Structure 1
Amino acid sequence: MKVYNLEEFATKYKLKDIYGAYAAHFSVNGEESDSFSGFDTSEYNIFHCMAEERTLFTKLLLVHEGSCRMRLQGNNTEQSIQLSAHNLLITTPHEVAHIEQLSTDFKAEAILVDENFAKQVQRYQLDDTKYKSIADIFHFVRDIVRHQHINKVEMIRSMFNVLKLIIDELPYEQCSVTRDLGHKKEVYEVFLHHLYRNYRKERQIRFYADLMNVSTAYLSRLVKEISGSTINEHATSLVYKEICNLLTQTDMTMGEIADHLNFSDQSAMTNFFKQHSGMTPLAYRNR
């Protein structure tokens, strides 16, 4: 089976918005559907064939409306992915996609680029802010490749650099990567990231499970399995160390420390500290 570089791929499917063998943009049933030479979602043979080709470049698909189900096959891997509005799908050069179902209102944009954006297939559910930011970048790339610019290469690469930075943040904000949930160590690292950012105010497992879109039972079991400690033990350790630091490194009052760490009152903070240190916070500060 032939493996296409970007220029060969664009020539075969008559993509209009392309810059050499580096970057291309096309729309699916959107305003630029003429990029498909008459693509119609009721007869999506062209889109189906394009997705199935073996290529040497990365494909990024941003879904605006509707839904799509596809089966992705890579190096000894296969998975089914359901896409819906505000999903971003990133496939590596190793995967080919088989479109299994496409809704009649499906609308999306794709960027093809001869760069690595991910080591494995990734799917993200974007919030409104991230969706708008990524959609804007898709449109900037489309406009750059479509028109003449003296600094076209630098402009395109700048857009991709910004896109990579945004994508790098996504797993830590929502943990909705399709395959990352199967990699326990990565899920645990995302949990730690959220915990370090929020432990001063949030120490309930439900808060972190909701952030990561997993069940409390799954997250609790996974953290214990990977680290040997419970989620409560992780949070307690951080809070205790923070109190110690504030007692020795600042002149904050006991009430201010209790408020800073979201204890119900100063007595609750004092009781917590005595349980873990065997002395009161004031005795610890005056050692």
Structure 2
Amino acid sequence: MEQEIGNISIALIRKLNPAMKGIGNDFIMDSTEYYIPDVNSIFKYPLRLDGIIIAVRKQGSATININLREYNTTKNDLILCAPGDILQSIPKPGMHQTQMFLISSDFLKEMYINLNSFMPFFISLKEQPIFSLTDEEVKELEAFYTLIEETIDRNDNFRTEIVRRLMGAYLYKLGSILHRRQPEFLSVNPKSMKREEILFNQFINLLTEHHRKERRVDFYAEQLFLSPKHFSTVVKKVSGKTAGEWIDEYVILEAKALLKYSVMSIQEVAYYMNFPNPSFFGKYFKHHTGMSPSEYKVQ
């Protein structure tokens, strides 16, 4: 399956981090200890993976940005990113270790698990992608992690099939933990939201889908059948930021991911992001980041 332009491939991650274990270009696992600032994490820059990211922090703390929302993570925190999410990690100085899986959408589809049973969790991730686990819950997940790691190390016959089944079991165990800790996810009557919050979530969904082509506030207001004034008031009230600020931040986040990880030239990024020309894109980018696209690309 052809990946969406702008996604970083697992193949590139393995090339940049050859010590990571995995299977082909669809599955990576890693639990390497490293010291900040001696090591530059690949997640230092905004990154979008065509797949899921599952990470359990064992040591260290970091500020994690997922789709422009900031979270502070520390030991025993679980981080979940769905396909298409943009992730950036800013680790604090010190020793770090995270048990992490990067799984492509194709590999996920071939695991033969009932994804419908996970849909409530996937939906909830937009609002809560970070969970604090107990020591016991971390040990439960670690037992599966060790089995998967040992299978990859042994390189047995049917290794890929065994890893798929074990990874499926890991996901079911993870779902069981989340259900145990967050039973409202599967409730037929989830916690009610105010109308303003519903509209804001609809705006974010629209922004995720259309920000590469649409930067007009009027466009998003029209999609929600609101006047631009009322729409802007709702967004500001719920989030503390204007609709225009949200749009600009999503556009810049996308541009950063493309400039850093795609093979596209600056000109190609400009046209892909629906700017009239590279010069306009350059001015827009520098206005919001303080540096030109070429400066950001090589830093």
Q: What TM-score does the superposition give when structure 2 sets the normalisation length?
A: 0.49
Match of 1:84 in 2: 74
After TM superposition, list the pairs within 5 Å mapping 1:35-50 onto structure 2: 39-49=34-44
Equivalent residue for 1:99? 89
1:14 is aligned to 18
Residue identity matched to 1:112: L
Deviation at 1:104, TM superposition (A): 1.0
> Relative to structure 1, is the Cα distance of residues 71 and 80 closer, same or farther in structure 2, using a 3 angstrom cutoff?
same
Does 2:146 correspond to 1:146?
no
Deviation at 1:176, TM superposition (A): 9.7
- The one-character-per-residue Cα deviations of 1:240-272 (angstroms, maximum 9, x if unpaired) are xxxxxxxxxxxxxxxxxxxxxxxxxxxxxxxxx
* Structure 1 unaligned residues grouped into runs of 5+: 30-38, 189-287
Corresponding residue of 2:113:
none
- Which one-letter code corresponds to 1:12 in the other structure? L
Whichever residue aligns with residue 88 of structure 1, its letter is L
Instruction: Give the letter aligned to residue 40 of structure 1.
Output: Y
How much has 1:15 moved relative to structure 2? 4.1
Deviation of 1:52 after TM superposition, in Å, equals 2.7
Q: 1:64 aligns to what?
A: 58
Partner Cα separation in structure 2 for residue 85 and residue 185 of structure 1: 32
**Deviation of 1:170 (Å):** 2.6
Report the equivalent of 2:252: none
What SS class does the counterpart of residue 106 from structure 1 fall into? Answer: strand
Distance 1:184 1:63, change over 3 A: farther
* 1:45 aligned counterpart, secondary structure: coil
Name which one, 1 or 2, has greater alpha-carbon Rg: 1
Contact 1:6–1:23 under 8 Å retained in 2: yes
Match of residue 24 from structure 1: 28
The one-letter amino acid paired with 1:18 is G
Match of 1:251 in 2: none
- Between the aligned partners of 2:91 and 2:15, the Cα distance in structure 1 is 26
The SS at the match of 1:130 is: helix
In 2, distance between residues paired with 1:89 and 1:58? 10
Deviation at 1:187, TM superposition (A): 4.3
Quote the residue 1:33 is aligned against.
none
Aligned match of 2:136: 129
Quick check: 1:163 aligned with 2:167?
Answer: no
Letter in 2 for 1:27: S
* 1:134 positional shift: 0.6
Give the superposed CA RMSD: 2.9
**1:53 maps onto 2:47 in alignment:** yes
How big is the shift at 1:149? 0.9
Give 5+ residue unaligned stretches, structure 2. 110-117, 193-299
How far apart, in 2, do the equivalents of 1:101 and 1:25 lie? 19
The aligned counterpart of 1:111 is: 101
Identity fraction in percent = 9
**1:160, 1:111 → 2: CA distance?**
9
- 4+ runs deviating over 6 angstroms: none
Question: What CA distance in whole angstroms lies between the structure 2 residues aligned with 1:47 and 1:176?
Answer: 34
Q: Equivalent residue for 1:204?
A: none
- Distance in 2 (CA, whole Å) between partners of 1:4 and 1:13 is 13
Do the aligned partners of 2:60 and 2:75 also contact (CA within 8 Å) in 1? yes
Instruction: Decide whether aligned partners of structure 1 residues 86 and 176 sit closer, same or farther in structure 2, where only a CA change above 3 A counts.
Output: farther
Please give the alpha-carbon distance, in whole angstroms, between the structure 2 residues aligned to 1:43 and 1:187.
44
